Amino acid sequence: MPMPPSPKGKRMIKINAIMQAQLIKLLLDGTYTCKELAEMTGLHYVTVLQYTRELHRAGAAHIAAWEKDPRGRDLSKIYKLGEGTDKRRQKKTQAERQIAYRAKKKQIKLMELIRCNALSAEKTPPPLKPEPQLMD
């Protein structure tokens, strides 16, 4: 069985340790989403998720904010290194959800009505002008 190369006289650096150090340095500098951290460090998104969750679980990081999706819901956690209280996820009440749903539904109906009116206006020919009568 072959023996692994001897590290004697050589400095052994593990890539994982370098990436973790880079991730922590970025978290010290500011607040980033896991997607941004993955792009900046070159680590896979799932790996960054695991690291930040473990930092959070150990109390070394906290949730500073939430990134919203196109519908306005809190989707991605934005971590900050250091102790602090986690920012709570914003939730809508049932009444707020109903109001938003009805407003969206009303807007869709209005847009369909405008579109139908525009189409019908294109199809109808312009009114004819009466021909002038010649006087004898």
Instruction: Please compute the mean of the pLDDT values over residues 98-115 and round it to a whole number.
Output: 90
> What is the pTM for the complete model shown?
0.56
Look at residues 79, 39, 38 and name the one whose alpha carbon lies nearest to residue 56.
79
Range of the domain at 115: 92-123
Tens digit of pLDDT for each residue in 25-75?
A: 888 888 888 888 889 888 888 988 898 888 889 888 888 888 888 777 788
Looking at the structure, do residues 60 and 108 belong to the same domain, yes or no? Answer: no
Residues 105 and 70 grouped into a single domain: no
Residue 35 lies in a domain: yes
Structurally, the chain folds into a number of domains equal to 2
**Upper half-sphere CA count for residue 77 (Cβ side, 13 Å):** 16
